[in-house]
Structure 1
Amino acid sequence: MKIIRDPIHGYIEVNDEVLPIISSQFFQRLRYISQTALAYMVYPGMRHSRFEHSLGAMHLAKEFLNYLSMNNKIDFLTEGYKTLVSVSALLHDVGHVAFSHTFESALQVTKEVYGENIEYYGKETHVKYGLKIISKNSSLFDKLGKESNISDPIKFLINVIGNTPKTEEERLASQIISNFVDADRGDYLLRDSYYAGVGYGSYDIERLKRVLVYVDKKIAVLKKAIPIVEQFLLARMYMYENVYFHSVVGMYNAILSHAISKLIREGKIDLNNIENLTDIKILNMIEETEFRDPILFRKGYKRIKKDITQECMSLIDKAEINNLMRETEGKIIYYEFFDVPYREESEAVYIYDGEKISQLSRFSNLITAVKDLQKAIIVYHVSMEDKVKKYVEILKSC
């Protein structure tokens, strides 16, 4: 066993059978992929990577299972099973390439603005890439979970990470790594908040771990711990409002997405061979383009200071602004932010009152008060000031 020091969780223990996975080239690559793309342009401390987030998610997955086994009798919850689930959490982001979700945004721009015929799966793109990596390196995983009743560990990993669980064992694992309260969000809220230097993402993770139960094949939270769930929900909402959806963070990620799109369209990025793409490689390519100054030195671009709220979006002609983006090759950019803090029908939080489980909305009025987060910004090169005056005038009426 190896022990890794971590600023969020203290000590992260790594089983010997997991070490070869962490040491593999495809996983080590995550050291050079930023967790939050260009958020460091606004929050200088946000230089952390997908590597440490993945370790943190692995740690929390194991912790959640340890406390579930203390609070419930689950026959299949063996040490081998815990290892398999923690590896699922470890690999949940292994398909991310340079600058994480901003690369996915670049694929969207390439397909929808410039009309290129490329593979793009929305926010699931990194999941698709990750499943390919797991399949390609299957020999690393075929002996995992020897002390479990899982006969095909590779199939287990693919079904859990791909969010297509077939068995009870896979469904529990899927809830651990991809639910509202899960190991992924559980880590990134604390980690991103810490590196941003803000308190918005803080919540009582030690308490949350200890109040998890498994009832009717679902993970639930004890009724007495509802305030912790509400704290978690608010932490997520505040991090999106104040950090992830910060207008200047969005501005630089929007510019970056167009810079990457140009590299794709010019054939400088081969989408059939992106496994080894890192932030450093992309920045080196960008240094030879007109996007060098805005991305490396924060020069040349501005944004219309008024954000476009959900109510005002209908005032913007999407076809027209898409044409402008295409004609100016990213010197004018329309960029949307969208997130759903809580969607009860697909990621319900269940509360256990000692007799039965019910959805959180039965007990908490806070859920109904939380609204979808949606806004947009218009970013432009200083040479395009005259062309965006029209949008400045339109937004004055909002």
Structure 2
Amino acid sequence: MKLIRDPIHGYIEVPDKIVPIISHPFFQRLRHIKQTALAYMVYPGMNHSRFEHSLGAMHLSLEFLKYVKGNSNLDLDQDTIGLIGVTALLHDIGHMPFSHTFENALSVAREVYGLDVLDKGKKTHVYLGIKIIEEVLGSLIEGRLRSSEDPVKFIINVLSENPKNSSERLAALVISNFIDADRSDYLLRDSYYAGVEYGQFDIERLKRFLYFNDGKLAVMDKALPVVEQFLLARMYMFKNVYFHSVVGLYNAILSHSIAHLLIRGEIRLPEEVTDLLNFDDNLIISKLSSVRQELRNAILYRQGFKRIKIEPNEQCLKDLEEMRDEINSDMRSSNGLFLYHEFNDIPYQEEREEAVYILTPHGVDKLKRISTLIGSLSEVKRVVFGYHPSAETLGRKYLEILNSCNKN
């Protein structure tokens, strides 16, 4: 057993059989991919990486399973528990430079500049992660993990959101659900490094009241306040940190810079999985000399760009959506010196079979039936416009548009 000291969870225990997976260069690569891209331009402490988040997700998944097993009287062997922990460990193994911002850059390259590139939206890293597991880590995983399951197939089924049996279903819910190990770690970790309290919630109480039955992961009703606390923490982190307009502005600048590097052939999406090994933040930073000075100075020195500070109302958002082709054209004609970036998140939304379930004395029920507070949560949607002084004409154009539609 190895111990890793972590500022969020204290000591993270790593079983000896998992250590070679963590030591593998493809996992170590995550040290060089920032968790929250350029959020450090606003919150200077947010320089943490996908590496420590992945360790935290593994730790919390194992903690969740310990209490789920005891509360639910599950016949869950240690090999399967370990396999679920490794699945959580590898859930972000396919992330590209600057995490989700690179995925946004692919969309910008395609939609704004017309480049034919791989674009699977926010699931691009999952697609690449599965390829890494299949082609690089598979033999190591099979050699280290004993299980009645096929370990590689198990991990791929869970990460692709296609569970085939009860164990895979439990793994999927523990790792990626409305309340899960992934979200729990990044809320606690990101708020810690941002120096804010928005993402804090009582993780110690939450994990002790988890229950699994009939394919559903539920929280016992005595922990309902923590469930509400968790979902509110998530909403506040998105509103105040992830969707901060200046964070969005700089991530938009980075997205256009990456798109320009792709267009000019300075970087290319790796054709072979092994080429992903050196595909990290350092590569992008080293290539910034190839993009125009205005973009480079913004990313390296936080210089040059201005932000339009008017928050669009609901009617404005509808008008802007109808103008999307024109906006893309203006970004393209300015070569990235005029920018538009959109944020969108739904804090909580119930569907037929997807919800947070609460275990009450009368059985399992959906969260919205029990919590009026959570039923009031609505979609979080924001946009930010930015421009370099050399593109001030476009800046004035959209300032007038926002002033006009906000009056309606």
Which bracket does the TM-score occupy, shorter chain normalised? over 0.9
Measure the CA separation in 1 of the matches of 2:260 and 2:291: 9
Would you say how many aligned residue pairs link Structure 1 and Structure 2? Answer: 395
The answer as to whether partners of 2:330 and 2:394 remain within 8 angstroms in 1 is no
- Secondary structure of the 2:315 match is coil
- Map 1:264-303 → 2, pairs under 5 A: 264-271=262-269, 272=271, 273-290=275-292, 291-303=295-307
Measure the CA separation in 2 of the matches of 1:244 and 1:310: 20
- Secondary structure of the 1:312 match is helix
The RMSD of aligned alpha carbons is 1.2
1:26-54 CA distance string (max 9 Å, x none)? 10000010000000000000000000000
- Secondary structure of the 1:18 match is helix
Measure the CA separation in 2 of the matches of 1:183 and 1:169: 16
- Secondary structure of the 1:141 match is helix
The answer as to whether partners of 1:310 and 1:374 remain within 8 angstroms in 2 is no
Measure the CA separation in 1 of the matches of 2:361 and 2:132: 43
1:341 aligns with 2:341: no
Deviation of 1:355 after TM superposition, in Å, equals: 4.0
- Opposite residue 374 of structure 2, the aligned amino acid is I
Cα 1:313–1:275 shift into 2, 3 Å? farther
Seq. identity, %? 56
1:83 aligns with 2:82: yes
1:368 aligns with 2:375: yes
Partner of 1:183: 181
Measure the CA separation in 2 of the matches of 1:307 and 1:337: 12
Measure the CA separation in 2 of the matches of 1:107 and 1:280: 18
Partner of 1:392: 399
- Map 1:24-39 → 2, pairs under 5 A: 24-39=24-39
- Residue 160 of structure 2 is aligned with which of 159, 162, 187? 162
- Opposite residue 284 of structure 2, the aligned amino acid is I
Partner of 1:65: 65
Partner of 2:195: 197
1:109-163 CA distance string (max 9 Å, x none)? 01111111111101101100100000012111113442x421x110000001111
Deviation of 1:223 after TM superposition, in Å, equals: 0.9
The answer as to whether partners of 2:261 and 2:290 remain within 8 angstroms in 1 is no
Cα 1:309–1:38 shift into 2, 3 Å? farther
Partner of 1:328: 334
1:175-202 CA distance string (max 9 Å, x none)? 0111011000010000000000000000
Measure the CA separation in 1 of the matches of 2:47 and 2:354: 30
Deviation of 1:217 after TM superposition, in Å, equals: 2.1
User: TM-score, length-normalised on structure 1?
Assistant: 0.97
1:80-102 CA distance string (max 9 Å, x none)? 01110011100000110110000
1:50-107 CA distance string (max 9 Å, x none)? 00000000000000000111112112x1110111001110000011011000000000
- Residue 245 of structure 1 is aligned with which of 239, 243, 249? 243
Measure the CA separation in 2 of the matches of 1:153 and 1:59: 19
Structure 1 unmatched ranges of 5 or more:
none
- Opposite residue 225 of structure 1, the aligned amino acid is A
Deviation of 1:343 after TM superposition, in Å, equals: 1.6
- Secondary structure of the 1:135 match is helix
Measure the CA separation in 2 of the matches of 1:159 and 1:65: 19
Measure the CA separation in 1 of the matches of 2:233 and 2:313: 22
The answer as to whether partners of 2:41 and 2:247 remain within 8 angstroms in 1 is yes
Once the two structures are overlaid, the 10-residue window that deviates more, 94-103 or 66-75, is 66-75
- Secondary structure of the 2:365 match is strand
- Opposite residue 344 of structure 1, the aligned amino acid is E
Deviation of 1:314 after TM superposition, in Å, equals: 2.4
Cα 1:139–1:80 shift into 2, 3 Å? same
- Map 1:8-47 → 2, pairs under 5 A: 8-47=8-47
Measure the CA separation in 2 of the matches of 1:211 and 1:111: 45
- Map 1:89-128 → 2, pairs under 5 A: 89-128=88-127
Cα 1:268–1:309 shift into 2, 3 Å? farther
User: TM-score, length-normalised on structure 2?
Assistant: 0.95
Partner of 2:257: 259
- Map 1:199-214 → 2, pairs under 5 A: 199-214=197-212
1:2-31 CA distance string (max 9 Å, x none)? 000000000000011111110001100000
Measure the CA separation in 2 of the matches of 1:329 and 1:347: 42
Measure the CA separation in 1 of the matches of 2:363 and 2:41: 48
Measure the CA separation in 1 of the matches of 2:181 and 2:198: 18
The answer as to whether partners of 1:245 and 1:337 remain within 8 angstroms in 2 is yes
Measure the CA separation in 2 of the matches of 1:347 and 1:184: 17
- Secondary structure of the 2:278 match is coil
Once the two structures are overlaid, the 10-residue window that deviates more, 8-17 or 344-353, is 344-353
The answer as to whether partners of 1:114 and 1:326 remain within 8 angstroms in 2 is yes
- Opposite residue 52 of structure 1, the aligned amino acid is E
The answer as to whether partners of 2:266 and 2:290 remain within 8 angstroms in 1 is no
- Opposite residue 315 of structure 1, the aligned amino acid is D
1:271-298 CA distance string (max 9 Å, x none)? 1244421111111111342221010011
The answer as to whether partners of 1:315 and 1:394 remain within 8 angstroms in 2 is no
Cα 1:87–1:53 shift into 2, 3 Å? same
The answer as to whether partners of 1:144 and 1:153 remain within 8 angstroms in 2 is no
- Opposite residue 310 of structure 2, the aligned amino acid is K
- Secondary structure of the 2:164 match is coil
Measure the CA separation in 2 of the matches of 1:214 and 1:153: 22
1:136 aligns with 2:135: yes
Deviation of 1:306 after TM superposition, in Å, equals: 1.0
Deviation of 1:351 after TM superposition, in Å, equals: 0.4
- Opposite residue 216 of structure 2, the aligned amino acid is K
The answer as to whether partners of 1:81 and 1:145 remain within 8 angstroms in 2 is no
